[in-house]
Amino acid sequence: MSLFDVVVVGGGPAGASAARFASEFGLDTLLVEKRQEIGTPVRCAEGVGKSVEEFIDVDEKFLSKEVVGARIHSPDGTYFDMNDDDAGDEVGYILERKIFDRELVKQAGESGAEIKLRTRATDLSREDGRVKVSLQRNGGVETVESKVVVGADGVESRVGRLAGIPTNLKLDDIQSCAQYLMTGLDDVDLDYTHFFVGNDVAPGGYAWIFPKGDNKANVGLGVSPVMADKKASQHLTDFVDNHPQLNGGKVIEEVYGGVPVTAPLPELTADNIMLIGDAARQVNPVTGGGILNGMRAGKIAAETAKKAIDDGDLTKKGLQPYEEKRQKIAKENKKYYKIKEIFQELDDEQFNSLVNSLEGVNVDELSVTGLVTKIAVKNPWIKDKIKDILAL
C-alpha cells in the first residue's frame, strides 16, 4: 500500500495550490481528480483579481482579457464604475479556465506531486493515526494511506461528509447559476466587467457580462432558488432578450451549476483532514467568486500539513493553525454574507437609489468610510444595516 504525506482530493485551483505547496515543502503528495481532463467543465464567469499574481505569472495562453474595472448597473439603467483595485477578487483578469487550471496542476506536478486523473476518492477510514483513502480508478479500487487528506472536492464534497465535518447548506445559501458564452457583442463596453442588480433580472443575485476579447463574453446570472419564480436558465434567456446590447449576439456555449454563498463554516478540520475552496464554503457570498480564496486556503493547508507532520500531531488540535490562519478569509466572507442578506431585502427602487447615489462619484478617491458615508447620506434607511457591517 502506497503511503503519502498528503493526499489532495480535487484538481481545481484550490487543490492544485495545496498540492503544489505541499510538494514544495518537501511532502510526498498525491493529487487526485475525478474527471478525465483538468479544467472542464467550466462553471464560473472566469474572472479573477490581479492578486492572482501571488501564485502564478500571468501568461497570455490562459488570459482572455484584462479589464480596467467593474461597472455596476441598477434596474433603471444608471451605473457607476470601480477600478480593478477596488472591485474585489473577481475583477482584473478574465481567464481561460480550462488552460489556467491545467497550468496550476502542471505547477503541482513540476513541484513533485503525483497526479492521477479519472480517480475518485470513495471512502476514508482512520487507522493508527493515518487515513486510508479508497480510490476508484479504471473500474478498480486502490487503497492508499496518507498522514493528511485535503478535501478540495467542490460544493458536494465527499471528503467533508466522510470526515464528519458539517457542511450542509440551506437552500437560500445556494445560488442557481446559468451562463452563456456569447459572440458578436459589438455594442458592449468590453473594457469593464458588468454587474446588473434587480429583482426582475436576478432575484437574490445578480447578472454579469465578463468580456473575453474578440467581441465575446461570458454572460450569466445567479439567482436565489428561494426568491426566484423561474429557473436560472429562463432568467438568463429573458436577460439576454431584454438587453439591447446582447440580443444581437450569438450563444456558442452554455453552462449551468450551483455556487455556495453561505456564511463561513465554524470548523473545517477533523483528525488528519482539512477542507479548502468550495468544499470549505470559502466563496465570497456576494460575488460567488472563490478562485483566490481557494488558492490562499490551499497554501495555508499545505503549511499546516508540513508543521503537523514535523510535530507528529495530526489530530484536529495539530491542524489548528489552519483554522486560525483561514480566519482572515472567514472574516471577509462574514462581512460579505451580511451584505448579501441586505441586498436580498432590497426592492428595485432601493437598488436604483443606491446606485444613483454613486453616479458620477469618483469612487477611487473615497475611503471605505467615505463611500459608506456617501451612500448613507442619500439613503438614510440603510444606516443601521451598514453599521452592522462596519462593526465586523
Residues comprising the binding site for FAD?
A: 14, 33, 44-45, 47, 97, 121, 278, 290-291
Cβ–Cβ < 8 Å for 321, 375: no
DSSP summary character for residue 12: S
Compute the C-alpha angle 157/299/144, nearest 5°. 55
Q: Is 100 helix (H, G, I), strand (E, B) or coil?
A: helix
Q: Angle, to 10 degrees, between the axis of helix 13-24 and the axis of helix 97-110? A: 20
Sheet containing strand 192-196, strands side by side: 79-83, 69-73, 192-196, 206-213, 216-223, 174-183, 250-260
C-alpha atoms less than 13 angstroms from C-alpha of 91 in its C-beta half-sphere: 23
Rg of the chain in Å (alpha carbons): 21
Q: Cα torsion for 135, 33, 118, 109, to the nearest 10°?
A: -100
**Grid cell for residue 303:** 503549511
Q: What are phi and psi of 37, to 5 degrees?
A: -140, 130
- CA nearest to 286, candidates 216, 240, 333: 333
* Residues tagged in the binding site annotation: 14, 33, 44-45, 47, 97, 121, 278, 290-291, 368
Task: Tell me the C-alpha distance between 83 and 192, whole Å.
Answer: 9
Task: Tell me the C-alpha distance between 284 and 88, whole Å.
Answer: 10
